[in-house]
Amino acid sequence: MKVAVFSARSYEIRHFEQLEANYPVELVFFDTQLNLHTAKLATGCKAVCAFVNDDLSAPVIEELVLLGVSTIAMRCAGFNNVDLDQAKACDVSIVRVPAYSPEAVAEHAVALMMTLNRRIHKAYQRTRDANFALEGLVGFNMHGKVVGVVGTGKIGIATLRILKGFGCQLLAYDPYENQHAIDLGAEYTSLDDIFSRADVITLHCPLTADNRHLLDDQAFSKMKDKVMVINTSRGPLVDAVAAIQALKNGKIGALGLDVYEEEEHLFFGDHSNEVIEDDVFRRLSACHNVIFTGHQAFLTEEALSNIAQTTLENLAAISNNRDSGNEVR
């Protein structure tokens, strides 16, 4: 099976190439994003392999089908960028990698928390300039702080496990309670209760049709002053314009973002020689208490290896008319 791999980067190609010979696939890598203009690169391929910011809207799927593509292999867990109705109508199979390393994302969320809390980003710059003054670097003990975890699936649970080690008081919100969270000492409660009690709020739920701008003006207004907010899930969960206002009025004390509403025009590429036109991004990234990472929470060797292996197994299963268990229905 010939597969066009879009948005492919060297750090992941390496892992795919190590395993490719063991599977009935021929991979063709493109560093460009999949969209209506680039879909033609998949000519002659039975499958495309796509990532979080590839465009798999209805017109793109239609175009891929005309080219002979019958499988979309997502090399990530989320599939909010795939038009599922169109895929179903065109009889296109979708497979994904539901879990590759929840710990990778959880550890990154906690890295953002600790960097913001202990001002590591500021200390790094100061000490390189031989400035060892401590003014403005005061953090807080994580021990005893109230942390609200929104979404207690695989990544939420891995995050709770780390936070329990810190001695945090754990609150959780999820439409479905998870016994692992309760065993870790988390108290399930409402979102509003988390907003009013948490010192730190970290998002670990998927983006769905119902939770776009889960954190908006109203949500921020219910939070404690100087709350820390971490988003490693999906950008549109946080209303970025409302976040700027909440930073300005001191509601948000620290904001850690691995994902961003308009990231598809920015992330995964080098724009260091360009003028960034996204004013919202520029205003956010200019704040001393905001840290962006470019959708890298998943980026560990272990996760990349698992992603490559599961994706190749998914494609092999499709090619052999087997169920991989990772189909999106």
Q: Which positions touch ligand NAD (CB under 6 A)?
A: 77-78, 99, 102, 105, 150-156, 173-176, 204-208, 211, 232-234, 258-259, 295, 297-298
Strands in 290-292's sheet, in edge-to-edge order, are 187-188, 169-173, 146-150, 200-203, 227-231, 252-257, 290-292
Q: How far is the CB of 234 from ligand NAD (least distance, A)?
A: 4
Q: How far apart are CA 97 and CA 147, in angstroms?
A: 28
Q: How far is the CB of 172 from ligand NAD (least distance, A)?
A: 9
Using the minimum distance from each CB to ligand NAD, give the nearer residue, 60 or 77: 77
Using the minimum distance from each CB to ligand NAD, give the nearer residue, 25 or 259: 259
- Which residue, chain included where needed, has tokens 């994302």? 105
Q: How far is the CB of 206 from ligand NAD (least distance, A)?
A: 3
Using the minimum distance from each CB to ligand NAD, give the nearer residue, 235 or 253: 235
Q: Give me the residues paired with residue 202 across strands.
A: 149, 230
The two structure tokens encoding residue 94? 């979708």
What is the identity of the amino acid at 309?
Q
Q: What separation in angstroms does the CA of 294 have from each of 113, 216, 238, 270, 308?
A: 16, 22, 16, 11, 20
Is the CB of residue 166 less than 8 Å from the CB of residue 193?
no
What is the identity of the amino acid at 28?
V
Tell me the residue nearest to ligand NAD as measured from the CB.
Answer: 153
Is the CB of residue 170 less than 8 Å from the CB of residue 117?
no
Nearest-CA neighbor of 211 among 274, 140, 150? Answer: 150
Task: Look up 265 and say whether it is catalytic.
Answer: no
Q: How far apart are CA 85 and CA 144, in angstroms?
A: 46
Using the minimum distance from each CB to ligand NAD, give the nearer residue, 99 or 316: 99
Task: Look up 234 and say whether it is catalytic.
Answer: yes
Is the CB of residue 20 less than 8 Å from the CB of residue 27?
yes
Q: How far is the CB of 178 from ligand NAD (least distance, A)?
A: 6
Of the listed 15, 75, 119, 295, which one is catalytic?
A: 295
Phi-psi region of 321 (alpha: psi -120 to 50; beta: other; left: phi over 0): left
Which ranges of 51-101 would DSSP assign to H, the alpha helix? 58-66, 84-89
Q: How far is the CB of 301 from ligand NAD (least distance, A)?
A: 14
Q: How far is the CB of 220 from ligand NAD (least distance, A)?
A: 17
Task: Look up 263 and say whether it is catalytic.
Answer: yes
Using the minimum distance from each CB to ligand NAD, give the nearer residue, 45 or 240: 240
Of the listed 119, 234, 261, 313, which one is catalytic?
A: 234
Using the minimum distance from each CB to ligand NAD, give the nearer residue, 155 or 291: 155
State the pairing for strand pair 93-95/71-74: parallel
Q: How far apart are CA 299 and CA 304, in angstroms?
A: 7
- Active site members: 234, 263, 295
